[in-house]
Amino acid sequence: MYKRFIKRPMDFCLSLAAIIVLSPVFFILALLIRKKLGHPVLFKQQRPGLNEKVFTLYKFRTMTDQRDEQGALLPDDKRLTKFGNFLRSTSLDELPELVNVVKGDMAVIGPRPLLVQYLPLYNEKQKRRHEVRPGLSGLAQVNGRNAISWEEKFDLDVKYVDTVSFVEDWKIILLTLKKVFKREGINANDSTTMELFQGTSGDD
């Protein structure tokens, strides 16, 4: 009942209200990003959503376009500035994803949308994470985020798919706000960003 008739209208209303209330923050961040990191202000990337349908994800830019002598982009840790790291640690870089929720690409709560290149790497159980819309936050994000392994993340994603409910969503929303305030689990223990998923060996 909730998943079919209530979740989507609730997500739409919450995200639209958040965009309206936070519009001054959007404007200020856009100006700062343009000044400190350059153009474009938004980072856009293709991500798989519900039933693996690909959509364009919107985030605020957090890295520069610095390149080496051969013209190749420098590693992430070289391009991530102190300001960009602040945007990530506070999750402010993810505010434009509220537009994705309004459009219906995403939900407020659900498995995080990952890279398209991961699609052929999932085993049958892991593929089930696409049975619901991807979310701004999810069960994996309030249980370690980038500090836990890919396999642990996917297990939590599938657990969410099997237990999605009004109470569960609001519990995750409140835990997410707590995590963001305390800036917990933003980066993996030994890297600026989470290492790429290479597939789960030994699983069908």
The closest of 128, 55, 131 to 97, measured between CA atoms, is 55
Nearest 5 degrees, angle CA 144-CA 113-CA 116?
A: 125
> Is 196 part of any domain?
no
Going by pLDDT thresholds of 50, 70 and 90, the confidence category of residue 190 is very low
Q: Is residue 56 part of a domain?
A: yes
Domain that holds residue 60: 2-182
Residues β-bridged to residue 44: 58
Give a yes or no: residue 197 inside a domain. no
Q: Is residue 194 part of a domain?
A: no
List pLDDT tens digits, range 110-154: 999 999 999 999 999 999 999 999 999 999 999 987 778 999 999
Q: Which residues pair with 137 in a beta bridge?
A: 109
Residue 195 belongs to some domain of the structure: no
Q: For 127-188, give the secondary structure using H, E and C.
A: HHHHHCCCEEECCCHHHCHHHCCHHHHHHHHHHHHHHCCHHHHHHHHHHHHHHHHHCCCCCC
Residue 188 lies in a domain: no
* 103 is a domain residue: yes
* 164 is a domain residue: yes
Residue 61 pLDDT exceeds 50: yes
What are the structure tokens assigned to 10, written together? 């609730």
Task: Please tell me the predicted confidence (pLDDT) of residue 203.
Answer: 56
Overall domain count for the chain: 1
Structure pTM? 0.89
